[in-house]
Chains A and B, each alone.
Chain A
């Protein structure tokens, strides 16, 4: 069970300013169902002062508490003052959050920024970054900013604050590079150590297709068969057998003993070949 402060529990169980402002001056809509948390913040701004704030949150206790706290923090502030609120300010207001839950406070800050940007009619600079974590849609600018603002020193900390790297984990090398360059200014050095070979999904698909065309298809065609690539999901390579291979009693042996072995040898030694049904 997470160790939540009394203030987090209080805001979670009795959240303040729940709802949506009609005809708001600015809307901040961040997160998604797939990500597991989302926040819609609406602000009413008069003479550059936030006179009302309401929220709707899908998420855990920290996400709800962070949203509730945020609304109380910003009401009465000028837009310029609110703009300076950081995720650490939100977490501090709540008496702290578990380190794994810091991304909830980041979501609060992001919603606030989005609402202010909406009020001002400008595009958030963060939205123009390059997506480094596809699972949670986190950009390099988001990561660099989190590293600088919260003095992050490891990939694990980046994940706690931004969620980047918390899904499939394929972006870990990119995050490590961003960490290195951000904290030291040292240029990115490609990883050449004898660690496991890493390929992006696109690189993987291209290589698989190349090996299928060059090595595997010609061999199968000699026996009247053929093979098509259907999908690549992580290390799982879904293929469809064609021609004589479809009715061959040894098709599974072909897949595992020939196709998989060949792809492991020539593309990546962790690939698992399965027949798409």
Chain B
């Protein structure tokens, strides 16, 4: 059996994925073992499984201030994103314009790049520029809204910097012009309060594994009355919105995770935020030539993205790995790409810093002792790598 030694790891890569909460595992177990009925079956054996799915639907709806009927379970955030955008384009075939940003997750970025191939139509995509602190300019957004805009898709919070975008206001501006609004809220749900009840957001994407549920389950919120065309045609599951037998255990787990997230929201915004700030301030104070990427305050409480100039991200991560510290980098070498993070480049982060960026993303499972350990280990790691760097000596 594989032994991952999770207890020995200092895990600060929660924007990549999260630990499945023990309570979530407990909730899932019956549906991986004895409760194996099909939720669509007429018999009680399946019916009780269907009830568990409905309960989860209510738990998800509760966390984001939606109605249970507005919740559609999917396989992941990427599927939710694709469903929302392709649905809008099919609902309004005469509209060929999409507005998004230059810092979206690849789920949106690559979808927009491939739209012509996917739909056979000639679509026009406006990618909104960001400021150097990663924030969006609303004036540019207003100018971009056009008569033939089919949908706006803007992430609620950026996965690399944690910067939060003003999606509530942007959704209203779109609604005033009769334009649908989608937000990829994969990083925001469970970390900041969201209440869709009085908002003009038509579609919202959630990914289970970003909030302590399992991998392979997601949600697409579709506001009641929004025109909708299914992405996966098939049976009548999910009210006809998404064919395919439900991933019951993961859905039940996601419901539980949403319930827990609601309860943990305060801790996320107090204790976790304080830990993040302590880490960030400590690193910026003790490592020379380090800089924060992203807005100082308009940010998720768990995320900090720091560049260490003149060293390369993969090399940093592998040294951190020696101490079982897990984080991510926007460096090119970590992704198999040859260019650094499109998010940092869009923000105008200089190459000297973009290649050496490290994203630390915390969760409620992190402790003060872990932060102190990271603060102790990082300065010598960076110093050691800088000794190797031809550019550091030039400084």
Contact = CB atoms under 8 A, between A and B. Distances in A.
Interface string B301-334: 0000000001110110011001000000001110
A252 B145 CA distance: 9
B124 A166 contact: no
Contacts of B311: 58
Contacts of A272: 124-127
The interface size bin for chain A is 35 or more
Contact of A36 (B122, B338, B390): B338
A20 B391 CA distance: 13
Contact of B318 (A40, A61, A159): A61
A260 B97 CA distance: 12
B146 A252 contact: yes
Contact of A269 (B122, B310, B312, B332): B122
Given A18-B388, A33-B355, A167 B339 contact: yes
A18 B338 contact: no
A55 to B, nearest CB: 8
Interface string A241-277: 0000000000011001100100000000100101101
B315 A60 contact: yes
A59 B315 CA distance: 7
Contacts of B146: 252-253, 256-257
A269 B125 CA distance: 12
B373 interface: no
B312 A260 contact: no
B322 A60 contact: no
B318 A12 contact: yes
Contacts, number: 91
B114 interface: no
Interface in A151-194: 159, 163, 166-167
Interface in B370-395: 387-391, 393
The size bracket of the interface on B is 35 or more
A57 B389 contact: yes
B308 to A, nearest CB: 12
Contact of B390 (A15, A38, A253): A38
B124 A59 contact: no
A100 B336 CA distance: 7
Interface string A40-81: 100000000000000011111111100000000000000000
A56 B338 CA distance: 21
A59 B337 contact: no
Given A159-B338, A167-B338, A252-B146, A36 B331 contact: yes
A20 B389 CA distance: 11
Nearest to B335: A100
B257 to A, nearest CB: 26
A167 B345 CA distance: 13
A36 to B, nearest CB: 5
B124 to A, nearest CB: 7
A123 B337 CA distance: 32
A211 B154 CA distance: 33
Contacts of A63: 312
B143 interface: yes
A18 B125 CA distance: 48
Nearest to A159: B338
A37 B147 CA distance: 46
A229 interface: no
Q: Which of A36, A40, A167 has the most CB of B within 10 A?
A: A36
B126 A36 contact: no
B351 interface: yes
B340 interface: yes
Given A163-B338, A166-B339, A256-B146, A56 B318 contact: no
Interface string B12-56: 000000000000000000000000000000000000000000000
A156 to B, nearest CB: 11
Given A252-B146, A256-B124, A256-B146, A64 B391 contact: no
Given A13-B322, A34-B351, A252-B143, A56 B339 contact: no
A232 interface: no
B226 interface: no
B332 A36 contact: yes
B352 interface: yes
Given A58-B310, A252-B144, 18 more contacts: A18-B388, A33-B310, A33-B351, A33-B391, A36-B332, A38-B391, A40-B390, A57-B389, A58-B390, A59-B315, A60-B312, A60-B315, A63-B312, A252-B143, A253-B146, A253-B147, A272-B126, A272-B127
Interface of A: 2, 12-13, 15, 18, 20, 29, 33-34, 36-40, 56-64, 100-101, 135-136, 159, 163, 166-167, 252-253, 256-257, 260, 269, 272, 274-275, 277
Cβ-closest 3 pairs across A and B = A166-B338, A60-B333, A56-B390
6 contacts: A34-B351, A36-B332, A36-B339, A37-B312, A58-B310, A163-B338
